Amino acid sequence: MEREVQQLVEMGATVAQARAALRQHKDVMEAAERIFDGSFDHIVDEDGDVAMSSSETVKQKPRMMTPNDEDDYDGGSDDGVDEGDEEDYADYDYDSDFEEKTGQAHGAAVDPYAGIFFSKDRREEVIEVEEEPEIVSLPGSNESVSLMTQGQWMKGCPEGSEQSFLFSLYRELSEGECPCPHGCGASVPRKKSDFFALFPTFPQYVKHLQSIVPRTCTRCQKQFCFACGESITASHQKVPASLDVDASLFHCSNLQGVILGVGLTMLEKVYLKTAEESLTLRKLGDRTSRKRRKMEFPHVMAPLMNDDEDEDEDIYYSAPVQGKKPKLGTGYAGDIREDMSGQLAAMQIQRIKDEKLAKLLTQIRTFLPSVNREGGGHASDYLVHPTALAHLRRRFNFVSSQLLRNDSLTDMSDRSVLYFELFEWLETISSHEALASMMAMPIMVVTSAKAVAGQKPSPKGTPRIRERTIIYEGSSGPRELLEAIVIQAQAALKGLEGMKMPEPDDAEMSEAQKRMTAEDKGKGKDDGSATSEENRKLLTFCQRIVNTAKAIDRSLVETKGKAFVDRLHASLPKIPATSTAQEESAPVDVGDTEESAMEAYVKWANRVRFEYCDLTIPPSGNGGTDEDQTPNYKFYFNNEARMLANSDIPKRSLAIAKELAVLTTNLPVTWNSSIFLRVDETRVDVIKALITGPEGTPYHNGSFLFDVFLGPNYNQSPPSVKYMTTNGGKYRFNPNLYADGKVCLSLLGTWSGPGWLPGKSTLLQVLISIQSMILCDEPYVNEPGWANSGGTSKSMAYSANIRRMVVRTAMLGNLKAPPEPWGDVIRTHFRLKAKSIMTQLDKWLEEDDGNATLGDGAGACNQRSTATGSSNGFAEDVAELKSLLTKLQAGEDLSS
C-alpha cells in the first residue's frame, strides 16, 4: 500500500488523504479521482495519523493565491500545500447535491457518483487573479514569447482541490532546484520559461520541451527527467514510430499535466480567435446572402486591464444565452437575386480555419492519457495528473461545448474535418477510467465577472495585478450535448433512408398515380449525381455521430459500470418513438404557483414538441388480393402522399433529412406560444403541426392544427400546408386562413410578395411565419384593403368575433374531441394552463361585444355592438370550457 500512497503523494495529495482514499478505493486511479473531486478535502494530517474532520464543512469562497501572497508561502510541504494554505482549498465540497449526510453510519449506502452527477443549478463564486504576462526571449530563438502567468494557469477553477494541485505543479515547475536523482549532489534550477512559455505553435512548444526535459547531469553524466527529477531508463525510451515526438515527454504525470495545460490554453486561444473571425465573416456574408447564422460566438467579457498584448489576455466566456430563439420566419424568404459570393468566400475561409483547429487538436491529443495507445501505454497514461483533468474540464470542455451546441447538422457536416477530430477526443476520454466521468459532469461556465472592490495597488516596479469575482453556473455536460446532435443525426438518417417503400416491380399503377400530370412526374426526376454524393456525405457524418455515442456508452459501461450509464441516460434529451402507441404517462405536476406551472409547461413541451407516430389508416380488410397495398393516411394530402410512396428522389431526400435534423431540436416552445410536430414514422414527408395561439392575440391558448406535405420537388418548391381548425369548413379565423383550409402566405406562393427561395427556405420558417404573422394581435389589418384600419371599432369587432370562434373551436371543440394524434398534447396543454386560461376567459367575456358569431369575420365588422352577456352563446361556451378545465385539474375523465 505504501507504493500506492507514494504515487498519490507525488500527484499532490497528502499522506493522510492518500491512505484514506486507498482504504475506500483499492484502485490508485479511482482513489486519485476521488481525492481530486474533493471527496477527501476534510482529511487532515496530525503527526502522521489519519483524522477525520467534521463532515459538516464550512464552504469558503475559493480564492487563487496572488503573487503578493506568495511571499508568505514557505514551499516546504511535501504535498505542495502547507497548513495555512489548506484552509483556502480543503473545505470545497465538489457536489453539494450528493454529499454524504451528516451523522450517516459508517458503511451505510452512499451515492457512488458523488461529484459526478451534480446539479446544473450549481452556482460558484470565485476570485481569480489577472496579471500582466512576462515577455522573454528564449536561448536559440529569435522571437519573444510570453510566459503563462499563475492566474492564466489557474483561471476558471472553482474547485478547491483543483486549485491546490494546479498551484503545486506551477510552483514546482517554475522555480526552485531539480536535484539529480542519482545522489551526486548536483541540481539544475528551474525557471518559468522552461515549461510555461507560450510559443506561437504547439509543435514549437513540444520541440522546446524535447530539448530540455531529458537532462544529463553535468556531474555524474546520468540522465534524468527535468519535470519530475527521476531517472530515465532505457524502458522509458520506447515509443511507436507513428508518434513524431520523443518518448521522454511521456515519462511522468508532471509532464502530462503541464503539456495538456499549456496545449489546451493554446487551443482555447486559437478557437476564440477563429470564432471571432468567423463571426465577422458571417456578418459580412449575411449582408449579401442573408444566410442564417448556424452558430453563435459566445459572449466574451473583456479583461479589466488594458493590455496591448491581446493574445495574452485572459478571456472569460459564458454559456450561450438560453431562452426563446429569435424568430426566423418573416413570411417570405428574401430576394431570389441575392449575391452568394460573400457566403462562399466565408465558407472557404471557415474550412481553412477548421482544418487548422483540427490539426491542433490532433497534435494535443497525442499527449491525452490513453490506455489504448499504439505500442502500449506509458506511465503517464495510467497515472493521470489531477491538473490534466482540471484543464480538460475547464478548457477542452469549453471548446467542445461550443462546437456541440451547434444547432445545424448541415453546418457540422460541412465542417466534418473538425468534428471528426472532436469525436476522437470524446471517445478517448470516455475510454479512460480516470477521465470518463467528464462525460457526465455538467460544464461550469462563466455567467458574470466583476472587479473586486477595495484592491490594494501593486507595489512600484511589480506587474499590475487585478482580482475579479467570477460567477460560474452549471450547464449541460459533453454526453448530454452530444445526445442533442445524435437526435438530429437520427432524424436525418430517417429522412435519407426511410423514404422509399418496397413494392412489386409489376404492380399496376393506382388511379391516383395515373392522374399525376406529366409536369409533376418531371419534378420527381433527378439525375442525382452531385446530390447523391452530398447524400452520402451527410449519411456518413450522421452514422459517425451515432457510432461515437455508442462507443462512448460502451466505454463508460467498461470504465464506470452499467449503473453509471443508466443514470446518465436518464438525464439525456429524448425523442419519443411514437405518441399514439404509448399510454399517457404520469401527469405532469403543475405545482401551486404560476411560476411552477410555467416551468412544468416548458419542460413538458420541450419533451413532446417533436415525435414520430403512426399516421396511417388501418386497412379495412375487405379488399381482395388485387387491392392496392399502398397505405392511406389520416391526412389532407393523402392522395399526394400515396403517389410518392415508391419515389426515390435524392435531392428531396437530402432536403428532408436536413429539415428534420433542424426541426427535432429547434421548434420554439414557450409558455406564451409553442409549435408541436408529429411526423409519420415510415413517411417523414407526412407531417402534422399544432400551433398554440400567442399571448396578446385573439388566438391566445387556442390549438390550431395544420397538415403539411413535403411534395416531390421539395425544397425547390414550398411545402403544401392546409389549415384544419375550421369548424368543418365554417370558420375563417383570419384574412390569411380561409374556411376551406387555404393558408395565404407569400412564402408558400399563395400570396403576393417575395416567396420561397429554392434550396434555402425551410418549413421552420413557414411555421414561425404562421405563428407570428398570421396569428397576430390585430388580424383585421392582414387584409390589404384594411391595412390602415388598425385600432378602429371594426378591427376590435373583428377580433372579438375571432375570440368567440377560438373558444368554440380551437379550445372547446378540440378539447372535447381532440383530433389524432393530438389528444395527449391538447389535454396536457389545457390542464397545465387551466388557471391562466380561466383568467383569460373572464377577460374575454368582459370585452365581448355581444354580437353573434359569424363564420366570415368580415361581416362581424358591420354589426352593432349589443350589451355584453347577450345570448350569442359565448357565455355558455366559456362556462362549458371552464367546467372541462376544472375536470382536467382534478384528473377526471372529460367524457363523463
Q: Where in the sequence numbering do the catalytic residues fall?
A: 744
d(CA 456, CA 465): 9
Structural contact between residues 211 and 203, judged by C-beta atoms closer than 8 angstroms = no
C-alpha cell at 378: 506509458
The Cα–Cα gap between 145 and 312 comes to 10
As given in the structure block, the three cell numbers for residue 512 are 391516383
Bond into 646 cis (ω within 30): no
Query: What is the C-alpha to C-alpha distance for residues 693 and 704, in angstroms, rounded to an integer?
Result: 7
Nearest-angstrom CA–CA distance, 146 and 131:
12
Answer yes or no: are the C-beta atoms of 40 and 25 closer than 8 Å.
Answer: no
Q: What is the DSSP letter of 448?
A: E
| Residue 874 contacts residue 845 (beta carbons within 8 Å) | yes
471, containing H or E segment: strand 465-475
CA atoms within 13 A on the CB side of 637: 24
Q: Count CB-CB contacts under 10 A for residue 696.
A: 11
Q: Is 174 helix (H, G, I), strand (E, B) or coil?
A: helix
C-alpha cell read off for 172: 514546482
Residue 680 has phi, psi (to 5 degrees) of -60, 135
Give the N- to C-terminal CA distance of the chain in Å, as an integer. Answer: 71
| CA dist., res. 593 & res. 863, Å (int) | 41
Helices within 383-458 (DSSP H only): 386-391, 397-404, 409-414, 416-430
Count the residues in the chain.
896
Cα separation, 720 vs 728, in Å, equals 20
Per-residue 3-state assignment (H helix, E strand, C coil) for 290-309: CCCCCCCCCCEECCCCCCCC
Contacts of 817 (CB under 8 A, 6+ apart): none
Number of Cβ within 10 Å of residue 177's Cβ equals 10
Do the Cβ atoms of 848 and 877 come closer than 8 Å?
no
CB-side exposure of 655: number of CA atoms within 13 Å? 24
C-alpha cell at 592: 401551486
Nearest-10 crossing angle of helices 253-289, 202-212: 170
Within a 13 Å sphere around the CA of 587, how many CA atoms are in the beta-carbon half? 15
Q: b/e per residue, 210-225, with b = 16+ CB within 10 A?
A: eeebbbebeeeebbbb
Pairing of strands 675-680, 610-613: parallel
Q: Which of 423, 467, 469, 470 is nearest to 445 (CA)?
A: 470
Q: Is residue 52 helix, strand or coil?
A: strand
List residues bridging with 470 in a β-sheet: 126, 449
CA distance 733 to 271: 50
DSSP letter string over 305-333?
Answer: S--S-GGGS--EE-PPPPSPPPP---SS-
- Class of residue 838 by CB neighbours under 10 A (exposed 0-12, middle 13-18, buried 19+): middle
Distances (CA, A) of 867 to 679, 878, 879: 46, 17, 18
Place of cell 524502458: 235
Task: Please report which helix (H) or strand (E) contains residue 10, including its range.
Answer: helix 2-10
Half-sphere exposure of 801 (CA within 13 A, CB side): 28
